[in-house]
Amino acid sequence: MKNIENKVVVITGASSGMGAATARKLVALGAKVVLAARREDQLKTMVAELGHHSMYVITDVSKRTDVENLIQQAIATFGQVDVLWNNAGIMPLSFFEEGKVDEWERMIDINIKGVLYGIHAVLPHMLARGKGHILSTSSVAGLKTLPSAGVYGGTKFAVRAIMETLHQEVCEKIRVTTVYPGAVATELGHDITSPKVRAIYGQLENMPKMEAEDIADAVIYAISQPDHVVVNDVVMRPLGQAR
């Protein structure tokens, strides 16, 4: 596919969900993908499936040195990084009165600092090349907040602010895209420990959801645009999701 073939795309959060779905589609279209996440078994299985146009680097995005190593490994193996998608994230929703401060801190470390470490690790390389594309995954919870998503939404509002500022600072050379999905059927939320939130989500089991592949198609649309076109924001909801 035009403007996808031979591009080197680094994806964090590539061991499941929308990151994994996008990696599969990108390789099918001729890109080279570098898969990053913590679960080695999943990453190994994916590389076995995708072949020599893929590699993995075990990465905890909350660790700055891990993210720097990820970008260095990608450049050492494939020669360059054309696209970085900061997609890793967690969503242990809870109400403030439950006081789950450890979970707030993990969300801040992964959902915000992980994005910042990605930008920091790849930006000098892209600026030196005079081109590149950085995407990050926010959420519709980064556009409008709701009860139990105070901290999760806070991290996603932060991603929005970071990416909008990044665009303003580097738009002469670098393409910047923020993805704001509504509900998608993935593993996200498996780590919710709040009984109140679990009860609410249990009742919402049949709510409309997109598939990870739907997000993959949108990300591929953004990456495949001609070099002079920047898709800044992608907001997607399943039919029937009001907020």
Ligand X SMILES: NC(=O)c1ccc[n+]([C@@H]2O[C@H](COP(=O)([O-])OP(=O)(O)OC[C@H]3O[C@@H](n4cnc5c(N)ncnc54)[C@H](OP(=O)(O)O)[C@@H]3O)[C@@H](O)[C@H]2O)c1
Q: Which residues are catalytic?
A: 152
Q: Tell which one of 184, 216, 231, 234 touches ligand X (CB under 6 A).
A: 184
For ligand X, which stretch binds (CB under 6 A), given 97-105, 166-174, 186-194, 199-207?
A: 186-194
Separation in Å, CA 25 to CA 113, 190, 193, 212, 217: 27, 25, 33, 11, 8
Q: How far is the CB of 186 from ligand X (least distance, A)?
A: 3
Q: Tell which one of 10, 31, 34, 62 touches ligand X (CB under 6 A).
A: 62
**Number of Cβ atoms within 10 Å of the Cβ of 79:** 9
74 binds ligand X (CB under 6 A): no
Question: Which distant-in-sequence residues (6+ apart) come within 8 Å of 193 by Cβ?
Answer: 92, 94, 100, 103
For ligand X, which stretch binds (CB under 6 A), given 55-63, 73-81, 199-207, 235-243?
A: 55-63
49 binds ligand X (CB under 6 A): no
Q: Give the angle subtended at the CA of 173 by the CAs of 170 and 177, to the nearest 5°.
A: 65
DSSP for 122-171, written as a single string: HHHHHHHHT-EEEEEE--GGGTS--TT-HHHHHHHHHHHHHHHHHHHHHT
54 binds ligand X (CB under 6 A): no
163 binds ligand X (CB under 6 A): no
59 vs 148, beta carbon nearer ligand X: 59
The three-state secondary structure class of 8 is: strand
153 binds ligand X (CB under 6 A): no
- Which DSSP state fits 2? T
13 binds ligand X (CB under 6 A): yes
- Which DSSP state fits 81? -
Distance between CA atoms of residues 243 and 234, nearest Å: 15
Q: How far is the CB of 129 from ligand X (least distance, A)?
A: 25
- Which DSSP state fits 222? H
Q: Which of residues 223-242 bind ligand X (CB under 6 A)?
A: none
- Which DSSP state fits 174? E
Q: How far is the CB of 212 from ligand X (least distance, A)?
A: 6
Q: Total residues at the site for ligand X (CB under 6 A)?
A: 31
Q: Tell which one of 26, 57, 84, 90 touches ligand X (CB under 6 A).
A: 90
Q: How far is the CB of 16 from ligand X (least distance, A)?
A: 4
Contact positions toward ligand X, by CB under 6 A?
A: 12-19, 37-39, 42, 59-62, 87-91, 110, 137, 139, 181, 183-184, 186-188, 212
